[in-house]
Amino acid sequence: MMRNISSATEFCLLGFPGSQELHHILFAIFFFFYSVTLMGNTVIIVIVCVDKRLQSPMYFFLGHLSALEIMITSIIMPMLLWGLLLPGMHTVSLAACVTQLFLYLAVGTTEFVLVGAMAVDRYVAVCNPLRYNIIMNSHTCIWVVIVSWVFGFLSEIWPVYATFQFTFCKSNLLDHFFCERGQLLKLSCGDTLFTEFVLFLMAVVIIIGSLAPTIVSYTYIISTILKIPTASGRRKAFSTCASHFTFVVIGYGSCLFLYVKPKQTQAAEYNKIVSLFISVVTPFLNPFIFTLRNDKVKEALRDGMKRCCRLVKD
């Protein structure tokens, strides 16, 4: 443990408490989650690329969302699994810590912007179906994706830079399973109040800013669906939005609890639980949310399985 006035050049991740046997059980559970996440989201990306029935803006965005889910869990899970597998504390360098935090926040921000764009896409599809192909043309979709990625990565440069401008002289023991910002600020011996407030405002702008078009879009969507005279028509219209709406509730709910608060340095146990939900559970659920509630994706999967079986038999 470092006790002088110099800044830490590496951090020791405390990870999860408990015995080695418990760590091995957690390793098996998280490895299963990670494997299913990689396979499920990769399958979605592949079928979106190869199946002509899924060549529409909704599935184009879904392919990018699945790629983001693979990235965000891959940024966290290898370090988490390595820490569970090896006895003792896991050491990570300052450079690796900076890189991990930046990628984690940048990919997460990109995902928020993309999910907001997907809500607007659903609004156009339900409320302006005759103009849908004109408004959501290929050029529009490509630009939406480019803006999402560029904004996500550029917007997190200053927050990460500001975080690592502090001197981490209290300790180099990080009570987390990855380089989480709130726990890093706890180790600083400087006054972090102003930086935490600015980070809070940025979180409000990014999360609430991307949530606002989602709320407005679904307000109009629900209003339009309720005006459809037949129950089958209402059910069909809602089915096109159900998967996205479920993802919005899960994704935004967990991030609002973690980031939209003035005090970033909350309890480590709280941080770990919410971080697990964001980086492990949500990416794991993504393939199930968008396949079990989507008939086109299920049909594409069935046809893909049949083609694979025929290839194996031949």
Model pLDDT for residues 53-108, shown as the tens digit of each residue:
888 888 899 899 999 999 999 999 998 998 888 766 778 888 899 999 999 999 99
Query: Who contacts 156 (Cβ-Cβ below 8 Å, separation ≥6)?
Result: 102, 105, 106, 109
Residue 256's pLDDT is 65
Residue 312 within any structural domain of the chain: no
Confidence class of residue 1 from pLDDT cuts 50, 70 and 90? Answer: very low
Residue 296's pLDDT is 76
CATH classification at residue 229: 1.20.1070.10
What's the predicted TM-score (pTM) here?
Answer: 0.86
Residue 149 within any structural domain of the chain: yes
HSE-up of 68 (CA within 13 Å, CB side)? 27
93 burial (CB, 10 Å; 0-12 / 13-18 / 19+) is exposed
Residue 263's pLDDT is 54
Residue 278 CB: number of other CB atoms within 10 A? 22
Burial 208-241 (b: 16+ CB within 10 A, else e): eebbebbeebbeebeebbeeeeeeeeeeebbebb
Residue 4's pLDDT is 46
Residue 313 within any structural domain of the chain: no
Residue 233 within any structural domain of the chain: yes
Q: Which of 192, 176, 140, 194 is nearest to 258 (CA)?
A: 176
Confidence class of residue 314 from pLDDT cuts 50, 70 and 90? Answer: low
Confidence class of residue 7 from pLDDT cuts 50, 70 and 90? Answer: low
Confidence class of residue 2 from pLDDT cuts 50, 70 and 90? Answer: very low
Total tally of structural domains belonging to the chain = 1
Question: Cα 248 to chain center, whole Å?
Answer: 11
Which range of 18-22, 132-136, 227-231, 297-301 scores highest in mean pLDDT? It is 132-136
Out of 116-130, 210-224, 246-260, least confident range: 246-260
The kind and range of the H/E element at 77 are helix 57-85
Spatial distance between the Cα atoms of 3 and 139, rounded to a whole number of angstroms: 56
Beta strands in the chain, from DSSP E residues, in sequence order: 10-13, 90-93, 173-174
Which range of 5-9, 182-186, 188-192, 213-217 scores highest in mean pLDDT? It is 213-217
Residue 145's pLDDT is 95
Question: Does the pLDDT of residue 254 top 70, yes or no?
Answer: no
What is the side-by-side order of every strand in the sheet holding 10-13? 90-93, 10-13, 173-174
pLDDT, mean over the chain:
83
The residue that leads in pLDDT, 155 or 20, is: 155
Residue 2 within any structural domain of the chain: no
Spatial distance between the Cα atoms of 6 and 46, rounded to a whole number of angstroms: 49
Q: Which domain holds residue 79?
A: 11-307
Query: Who contacts 146 (Cβ-Cβ below 8 Å, separation ≥6)?
Result: none
Spatial distance between the Cα atoms of 35 and 249, rounded to a whole number of angstroms: 24
Residue 29's pLDDT is 93
Spatial distance between the Cα atoms of 289 and 282, rounded to a whole number of angstroms: 10
Residue 129's pLDDT is 86
With contact defined as beta carbons under 8 Å apart, do 172 and 1 qualify?
yes
Token pair 């790629």 is found at 67
Spatial distance between the Cα atoms of 218 and 199, rounded to a whole number of angstroms: 28
Question: Does the pLDDT of residue 3 top 50, yes or no?
Answer: no
Residue 80 within any structural domain of the chain: yes
Question: Does the pLDDT of residue 191 top 50, yes or no?
Answer: yes
| High-pLDDT (> 90) share of the chain, % | 25
Residue 5 within any structural domain of the chain: no
Residue 4 within any structural domain of the chain: no
Question: Does the pLDDT of residue 267 top 70, yes or no?
Answer: no
Spatial distance between the Cα atoms of 301 and 299, rounded to a whole number of angstroms: 5
